[in-house]
Amino acid sequence: MISGIFGAVLALLILIVYPIVSQKSVTQLEQIKDRGFIRFLTLNSASTYYQGVNQASGFEYQLGLLFAQSIGVEAQFITVSNFADLYPELLFGSGDITAAGLSINEPSLSHAVVYGPRYHEVKNQVLYRKGNVDRPRTIDDLSAGKLAVIGGTSRAEITTRASRAISEAVLD
């Protein structure tokens, strides 16, 4: 009796486990090709993706279209409202690739993704309204004005550290 139950359980386990174990692992590229489209997560901005007068445009948009064409699939662009949402959306599978001018220096979740080759470098700059203000030459020169950066980026982290350093220097 026990050997009959054991045999039935063993046969059931084999029927359940074998299909799972014997499945060939499919790469992400193969999955994209099988479904016929690739999903790009992006931001609505002039340097990445935006709706022009007649159609979508932007540097990352053009790169995405060319990449999709090179692998023989359609391109879908999903705009994310906040920069800080790009990594979680990618990690949770809402998109296949981010096309939003990311930097390997981004602090949030950058260790959990793989970056492609560098194709564009941007020099960080401070833009200021001239008016009655002299051009800022040091970080201390920025303490009297308003400084805006995109939240969740490496620049926001740098700005926060600089702000703390200025505050600590003033308190000392």
Give pLDDT tens digits for 52-80.
888 888 888 999 999 999 999 999 999 99
158/149 Cα distance (integer angstroms): 10
Contact call for residues 74 and 36 (beta carbons, < 8 A): yes
2/154 Cα distance (integer angstroms): 64
77/96 Cα distance (integer angstroms): 10
78/40 Cα distance (integer angstroms): 6
What domains are there in the chain, each with its CATH number?
28-112 (3.40.190.10), 123-172 (no CATH)
pTM for this prediction: 0.65
Looking at residue 66, its pLDDT comes to 94
